[in-house]
Structure 1
Amino acid sequence: MLNTETPSSSHTDLDLYPTEELLHVLIDDQFNAIRAVRQVAARIAGAVDSAAPRILAGGRLVYVGAGTSGRLGVLDGVELLPTFSWPNERALSLLAGGKQAMFVAVEGAEDDAEKGASEIRELALTANDVVLLVAASGATPYVLGALQAARASGALTIGFANNPDAQVTGAADIGITLDTGNEVISGSTRLKAGTSQKVALNSFSTALMVRLHKVYGNLMVDVKPTNVKLLRRTVSLTMHATGRDEAECRRVLEECDFHVKTAILAILSDISVATASARLAACGDDLRRALQVQQK
């Protein structure tokens, strides 16, 4: 029996616990999710370093999963646009059962290996694409079908599973085992197995965006102001990075369609927004490098 499915020998009277004790048990077990991710930090770092040149060359991120794992992939991908201005068309998600499975469980969809393969083939992957395949068991047919098709296309495949020696991690170019063991509630991988997947995917994509120069220092300088809150954030980020007052920062931001990178470079280098935009482009969209050009 898979580790994630094996009944736990701890807390066998869980249903008899007082509510507060029950919550302490559930919460404390989540710390094991973080430990599992930390144990494979080097593997995740290797995945980031392998993915970065492909993505810089124009590749796409493609998340593949079923159930909780698939929904976590969707969540990670859709958050890249507002946080890092990453285009939606370059962060795609394949969820067993289709979009409706995001909200309602589609029974049996995860067992269709050919569906996973055909949906990958429809994307016409290239060698620059990066496919993230997530399955707690590591043996979900839909995910394995997608993996086989992705590998045939020459794309970089990164497999995440919560069981050692899983098929998805063994067959992927890079396998990452999040060994969370059994669950407090037997087989419920929406608990710490799901948490470990969320942390691993979030850490991978965030580190990748840092490598792609979407962050300056620890500031999200490519944030896309899609609402009032984020619009205010662009102003506060620019003020923080430049030390200038709100009026000046807002004025420059308005000139560059609230692109924080461009505003920071224009203010600190005392150049026009147009010149700042051109310099950023010449420096591969790397704000730190663009600022160093001015210093020289």
Structure 2
Amino acid sequence: MNTRTVGLIGWGAIGRVVGTALAAGEVPGARLECVIDNRPLGDSAPAPQLPLEEALERCDLIVEAAGQGVVRECGERILDAGVDLLIASTGALTDEDLAKRLRTAGPGRVYFTGGAVGGLDLLQAARGMGPLTEVRLTTTKLPATLEQPWMDEELKQRLHTTTEPVTVMSGTARDIPVKFPKSTNVAASVALAVGDLDAVRVDVVADPAAHHTSHTIEATGAHGSYRFEVRHLPDPSNPATSQVVPHAVLRSLGAIAGRGGQIL
């Protein structure tokens, strides 16, 4: 088995966990070759910090752990260079034109990780029997993690002062990840599994008592109904991200690297 040489974009809450595990040899068949970040990292990373152009010459797989903007700016260039790309910030795929370009770019292959939510494999399987007629996602987080620059003062005040759960925004998986780019990649992941951005209705809820981030998926079709609920501790250094997300990335890396015995 050939060892995958991995370049990691981003040395934040997700990237640090992924990069440290790769450097420690915790993903058989994958090796951390370099880290790409727009900030000087000094000796904090366990691999050389390189510009993307040099990383594309040395790596056969790039892992994105730096946000939707990186997917938009660099995704096609990575794939056109013949390098595979694993995307953590699936919210970028709400831009259908970008999603189409990434799927047709190459010869590199594009992969997506499910991140903080489960049940996507079953939704994909159910979709094979026919369309799901109703899909709803409810995401609940601490109010501070949901505040956005576009919010007016009235809404910000509600977030700061609420003592009970309050629905901040409702919409589709096409709309919500654009409005909450660091908090609602899950909505895009569910839509990727279902195959339709507009079919997934999303409620974003702020709850000052939310010690855990929660995602509840409810789906119905002619062939059955499904309900999944997950509750995660937020990452202490970046509460907008759940602690489990980098481990979901590592699991995806293991599958790409060909680790045997996995549930796919």
TM bucket by the smaller chain? 0.3 to 0.5
More strand by share: 2
Question: Which one has a larger percent helix, Structure 1 or Structure 2?
Answer: 1
Greater CA radius of gyration, 1 or 2? 1
Give me the TM-score of the superposition, normalised by structure 1: 0.36
